[in-house]
Amino acid sequence: MSPPPFAGAAGAPPRARVLPRFLTRLLAVVAVVLGTALAGPLPAARASVTLTQVSDFGSNPGALTMYVYRPASLPAHPPVVVALHGCTQNAQVYADNSGLPQLADRDGFLLVLAQTGSANNASQCFNWFQTTDNRRGQGEALSIRQMVSQAVTAYGADPQRVYVTGLSAGGAMTAVMLATYPEVFSAGAVVAGLPYDCTKDNSPYTCMNPGVDLSPDAWAQRVRDAYPSYTGPWPRTAVWYGDQDTTVVPRNATELRDQWTALHGLSQTPSRTATIGPDATRQDQYLAADGTVAVEVDRVPGIGHGTPVDPGTGTQQCGSTGAPYFAASICSSYWIARFFGLDTSDPGGGGTGGGGSGAACWTASNYAQVQAGRATTSGGYTYAKGSQQNMGLYNTFVTHTLKESPTGYYTIADSGCP
């Protein structure tokens, strides 16, 4: 999110607000200065990621633009990751710096990037805070939903493996999508965003800083109210925050945790805590009864407002600090892909998906199969969902191939798949 007035005057829809040209330029300069301070010195120019614009994806009531990054080698029926940029950014900037395209290449998923513009919001923010855009069936939320439908239809993507992530206003809009279309998204990752519908009775500025404290049940009810007839399951949700963020304060990470753990019927005490990455990011995980990670909170030390990236060629590295609001730290996109169950880089990742003859196949550790929702754990052992075949101990060392056929029913297929 950019400095005020990214949301327009109180009660005034940003689409109707036109700023003087000199003020618009001043805001842009301020945003660049703040972003550069967060991200550090700019490196040498690098080649831009090649995106394809999709012009016809539905009625598009939110007046958004759709871009797609399609890896050269894409498996049949690939997963879809929807990415939502932050204020003062666009789809190209997010693709060039977040690291998501290189992970799409490695892990075999289709990347869809939604883009808003100054006609919608003076600071190019998604309008997560206004009811014309954050409700099911209308505005920007519906436009993003239509992009998913287009990706499934045009690219043969798997509608059961659709995920969403975004930074700042894009992170807040990620929470909007998980709340308004929970049947569409299997999981989401909110980076420096806010709980859904905080602005129901608060200004955007209050929600951002100092934040709003509600009970877990009260937060959860706001999500239920977004789609009252929906009975679940709820999307799995990861939350990423810099612990020095003064734009969208870290209290919002706690409130997001409260909102989504309550929806999943879980305690607000983490099931397990670990330290990950080169900067000792604290990762708290909240496990569902079947052993899957329903909610995860990752608190990154020493950075402010932005997407954490770790430029380099290592397995757990990605991204660039070539634009404001990309902070050198940990490659959050790598860990987000892992949370989604898409990571194929090591035995602890999400597994390798394949297809053919009506079946999809996944090779991964027992731990990763459980994290991806293809298996469950009980008494220290792992069981394939559907068939309930015993896969052995629940750890990162035992690896199996699971065949999914029909959808949601898994059998061990170590000798070959399909």
Residues classed as catalytic: 168
What is the dihedral angle through the alpha carbons of 70, 66, 122, 180, rounded to the nearest 10 degrees? -100
CA distances from 368 to 61, 76, 258, 348 (A): 39, 21, 25, 6
Cα 349 to Cα 351: distance, rounded to the nearest angstrom: 6
Q: Is the dihedral of CA 312, 353, 349, 330 positive or negative?
A: positive
CA atoms within 13 A on the CB side of 151: 33
Q: What is the DSSP letter of 310?
A: B
- Amino acid (1-letter code) at residue 169: A
Burial 179-211 (b: 16+ CB within 10 A, else e): bbbbebbbbbbbbbbbbbbbbeeeebbebbeeb
Cα 297 to Cα 285: distance, rounded to the nearest angstrom: 7
Rg (alpha carbons) of the chain, rounded to whole number: 20
Q: Are 81 and 110 in contact (CB under 8 A)?
A: yes
- Amino acid (1-letter code) at residue 28: A
Cα 58 to Cα 64: distance, rounded to the nearest angstrom: 11
